[in-house]
């Protein structure tokens, strides 16, 4: 089979990720509709969301499997999980079966993401990696700006059950088409061909200084961002008495900030240098956290402040994906799975401590804590990457 040009592969991967991201994120805005459909309290749906976050930890083990058996194999496995999960949700009428279906679909993204990042790391030279990963990561914002609104229209026409079936159908189409777009892994593409034990790379995540620094960086900045994300709605309601409609608009603003941040990675990260771009992004994020409490006099200024917080964070985190693909070139999927897992732990902790910070002192305590935690992330990054230099002309 002839190999598709890389540009066509990236376009196809964008749509694969758009589908997977929509499947992961749609539960948030449609949680009330799900609770009514299943005749369960809203807390039962939020329990699904929390469990799906825990699934990120299990993704730690998908990376070594991808490094041994191939990136395309695990990508197909992720799409198969999305398809089966959504099909189960469509067929089921019981809460626990829908719970299982959404968990399986969510785990599909956890399996897919490290493999696609590793695939890009293997096929794209280091000096152009920020651009390609930035383009692919716009599918995250696209799920908020395109996928979820489109799914809302579909639910309005055919109901939740019909939307589950449609998502399953799209997943099946992607599963069949991926072999036509993504080439089979060559023996040199995956470390397992040389006899590496499946999980032997995992301990190395904490023994290599640059890797340990990057994992720590992802952990701290994820706590910082999610501790704000979980309370910003309460802040807007308390200080500005906003309506549900306005809160919905704020989600669109965050999606736009994510899109701009991902686009900035695509256009500027390689030019700046990935290490320098991450440090700049962290400094901008700390500045945005610092000034956010001073925007309480105007809703528009508050929304603008939130926009810049998420813009700086998204630019930083997406650029860090690009750099992370180079830290363990022989075990890229393992590295990316480890990064996603530690960042996932950070997000879970952020959700827990954000409410406590809010009760302790309102938005000031929340965002200034976020600034401090981001500063720890900066120190971790500088410590870990001190003296490290990427390969300038790698195209393995």
Q: Where are the domains of the chain?
A: 6-190, 202-385
Check residues 253 and 284 and name the one with the higher pLDDT: 284
Which pLDDT value is given to residue 268?
Answer: 92
Identify whether the C-beta of residue 172 lies closer than 8 Å to the C-beta of residue 83: yes
pLDDT at 312: 96
Listed range (52-61, 100-109, 369-378) with the worst mean pLDDT? 52-61
Give 118-155 pLDDT, tens digit per residue. Answer: 888 888 888 888 899 999 989 988 888 888 888 888 88
**Per-residue confidence (pLDDT) for residue 66, from 0 to 100:** 83
pLDDT per residue over 354-387, tens digit each? 888 988 988 999 999 999 999 999 999 999 999 8
Query: Superfamily assignment of 202-385 in CATH?
Result: MFS general substrate transporter like domains (1.20.1250.20)
Sign (positive or negative) of CA dihedral 190, 12, 74, 390? positive
Lowest mean pLDDT among 37-51, 234-248, 289-303: 234-248
Q: What is the pLDDT, as a whole number, of residue 391?
A: 54
Sign of CA dihedral 33, 34, 37, 40: negative
Q: Is 202-385 in the same CATH topology as 6-190?
A: yes
Query: Residue 1: which pLDDT band, with cuts at 50, 70 and 90?
Result: very low
Are the C-beta atoms of 327 and 381 separated by less than 8 Å? no
Three-state secondary structure string covering 5-26:
CHHHHHHHHHHHHHHHHHHHHC
DSSP assignment of 75-103 equals HHHHHHHHHHHHHHHHH--SHHHHHHHHH
Confidence of residue 202 (pLDDT cuts 50, 70, 90): low
Per-residue model confidence (pLDDT) at position 48: 83
Q: Tell me: domain 6-190, CATH 3.30.70.3040, correct? A: no
pTM (two decimals): 0.81
Least confident of 10-14, 50-54, 387-391: 387-391
Q: Please indicate whether residue 157 or residue 174 has the higher confidence score (pLDDT).
A: 174
**Cβ-contact 306, 300 below 8 angstroms:** no
pLDDT at 287 over 70: yes
> Does residue 273 sit in helix, strand or coil?
coil
Mean pLDDT of 214-234: 91
pLDDT band at 55 (very low <50, low <70, confident <90, very high): confident
Q: What is the DSSP letter of 184?
A: P
* CA neighbor of 17 nearest in space, from 110, 118, 150, 126: 110
């Amino acid at each position: 089979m002839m190999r598709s040009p890389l540009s066509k592969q990236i376009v196809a991967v964008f749509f694969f990720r758009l589908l997977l991201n929509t499947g992961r994120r749609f539960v948030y805005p449609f949680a009330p509709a799900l609770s009514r459909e299943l005749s369960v309290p809203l807390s039962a749906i939020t329990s699904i969301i929390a469990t799906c976050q825990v699934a990120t930890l299990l993704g730690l083990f998908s990376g070594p499997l991808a490094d041994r058996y191939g990136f395309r194999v695990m990508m197909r496995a992720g799409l198969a999980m999305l398809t089966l999960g959504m099909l189960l949700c469509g067929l089921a009428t019981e809460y626990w079966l829908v719970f299982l279906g959404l968990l399986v679909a969510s785990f599909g993204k956890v399996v897919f993401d490290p493999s696609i990042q590793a695939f890009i790391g293997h096929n794209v030279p280091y000096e152009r990696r920020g651009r390609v990963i930035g383009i692919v990561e716009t599918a995250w914002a696209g799920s908020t700006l395109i996928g979820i609104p489109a799914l809302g229209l579909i639910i309005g026409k055919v109901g939740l059950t019909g939307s589950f079936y449609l998502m399953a159908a799209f997943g099946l189409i992607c599963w069949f088409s991926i072999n036509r777009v993504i080439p089979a892994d060559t023996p040199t593409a995956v470390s397992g061909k040389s006899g590496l034990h499946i999980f032997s790379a995992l301990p190395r995540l904490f023994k290599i200084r640059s890797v340990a620094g990057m994992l720590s960086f992802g952990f701290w900045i994820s706590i910082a961002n999610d501790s704000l994300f979980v309370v910003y709605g309460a802040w807007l309601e308390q200080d500005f008495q906003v309506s549900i409609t306005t809160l919905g608009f704020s989600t669109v603003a965050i999606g736009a900030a994510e899109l701009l941040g991902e686009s900035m990675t695509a256009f500027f990260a390689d030019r700046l240098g990935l290490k320098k771009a991450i440090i700049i992004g962290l400094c901008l994020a700390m500045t945005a956290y610092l000034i956010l409490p001073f925007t309480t006099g105007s809703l528009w200024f508050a929304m603008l402040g939130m926009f810049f917080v998420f813009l700086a964070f998204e630019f930083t985190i997406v650029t860090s994906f690009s750099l992370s693909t180079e830290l363990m070139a022989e075990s890229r999927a393992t590295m990316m799975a480890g990064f996603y897992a530690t960042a996932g732990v950070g997000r879970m902790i952020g959700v827990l401590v954000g409410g406590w910070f809010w009760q302790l002192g309102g938005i000031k305590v929340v965002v200034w804590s976020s600034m401090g935690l981001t500063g720890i992330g900066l120190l971790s990054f500088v410590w870990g990457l001190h003296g490290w230099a990427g390969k300038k002309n790698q195209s393995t």
